[in-house]
Amino acid sequence: MAAPDAAILQQLRALAPEVLGILCRRTKDFAAAEDAVQEALVAAAQQWPVQGLPEHPRAWLVQVAARRLTDEVRMAIARRAREETVVSLVPAEQQVALAVDDGASTDDDSLALLFMCCHPSLSPASAIALTLRAVGGLTTAEIARAFLVPEATMAQRISRAKQAIKDSGVPFERPGPEAFAARLGAVMHVLYLMFSEGYAASSGDAVMRTDLSGEAIRVTRLLHRLVPDEPEVSGLLALLLLTDARRAARTGPAGELVPLDQQDRARWDRQAIGEGVALLDGALPKGRPGPYQLQAAVAALHDEAPAAAQTDWPQILALYQVLRDLSDNPMVDLNHAIATAMVHGPAAGLALLDQLATDARLAGTHRLDAVRAHLLERAGDLPGAMALYRRAASRTASTVERDYLLAHAARLHDGPR
């Protein structure tokens, strides 16, 4: 069996939420639709490299998924009523027509799927996890790492969320104004997490997963077009664009990770930076700066600095201090410690890291060790830095990040003592 190439895998990931949205809209059964779509994606990954791409890939996936649904219903006598519903809603002669429609309905389906997953019957954590699974296509392990929880815990959370969606009977449709406002925060958070996983993959042998980050930007644009005057949505889109603008410079010739302060800024996407700054300039004067606008402001300060040495670290530190007051986020605290070290010296940053050492959300992850190693290196404690770089390398699931950390440790070991 031929292995699917990167182009096919990328196309399947892009089509997955559209197909799931179509099936959800017609069957009204999220859990069954997701299972059927997953089986259709596996079938496509096996058959397309051998048989070639079908004329209408989305129609092909819808048809196969619909057949899987019908087969499942036929095998369960207790669910014969749902079989009739599925067959009537997705008749074979109409499957190609409904899947090869204009882009507007799939855009609506993507947003409707997002908002359905963020239904108020779910806890915020469960809603975000379910959306990352259904829309982002992340594995349970990847979502668990994003939430800093064990994989088994996340699997149970997603399973309970699916059942809650089924039990709630929530319609598959874009919510009204009141429901829209209630779910908007969770929707933005899941788009942010989806982009973050794509921009800095938590596992595997690649620095980035551009399929995920690109999909997050695409859906965030849809959301922004829907509510162009909502400042935090503008801030989120600005943050994603300002961060993604550095993508081309994040890797070296061999695919190795290149840190921000060593990147070739000539390779940054100035058009994306300009768009992000314009969005931010339009949002901030509205007087409601939230976490995404503040993070976008930090990203803009990095992007607009001509060189790393000219970065406005005092302003970045001030922004992180405001962010800490708005959210209880260990990653904000970690970045605040780095900014503190850049302004007041490594000892001040290390003192803040000592306070974070008891945060259970960071325990066992590589992040705290990696930052502490960097600050110890700046403080002149090379043996301590070397040990922590190695420990951080042993704790990350990203091959590229592990190699980067081990290279740092080796450089300190081989350098002048």
Within a domain: 368: no
Which class for 167: exposed (0-12), middle (13-18), buried (19 or more C-beta within 10 A)?
exposed
- Between CA 293 and CA 298 the distance in angstroms is 9
- Between CA 110 and CA 165 the distance in angstroms is 17
Within a domain: 15: yes
Within a domain: 36: yes
- Between CA 183 and CA 120 the distance in angstroms is 7
What is the structure's pLDDT at 303? 97
Within a domain: 46: yes
- Tell me which residues of the chain have a pLDDT lower than 50: 77-104, 417
- Please state the pTM of the whole predicted model: 0.73
- Secondary structure element (H or E) that encloses residue 221, with its range: helix 210-226
Please, what is the end-to-end C-alpha distance for the chain in angstroms?
54
Within a domain: 284: no
| Count: domains in the chain | 1
- Secondary structure element (H or E) that encloses residue 204, with its range: strand 203-204
Of the candidates 206, 300, 171, 274, the residue with the CA atom closest to the CA atom of residue 6: 206
Within a domain: 261: no
What is the structure's pLDDT at 203? 66
Query: Rounded to 5 degrees, what are φ and ψ at 398?
Result: -90, 120
Query: How many Cβ atoms sit within 10 Å of the Cβ of residue 6?
Result: 8
| Amino acid at residue number 133 | R
What would the DSSP string read from start to end of 301-328?
A: HHHH-SSGGG--HHHHHHHHHHHHHH--
Instruction: Identify whether the C-beta of residue 245 lies closer than 8 Å to the C-beta of residue 303.
Output: yes
- Secondary structure element (H or E) that encloses residue 397, with its range: strand 397-398
- Between CA 273 and CA 276 the distance in angstroms is 5
- Between CA 44 and CA 49 the distance in angstroms is 8
Q: Residues 201-225: pLDDT tens digits?
A: 776 667 777 777 888 898 899 889 8
Instruction: Identify whether the C-beta of residue 172 lies closer than 8 Å to the C-beta of residue 197.
Output: no
Within a domain: 49: yes
Structural domain containing residue 35? 1-101
Within a domain: 90: yes
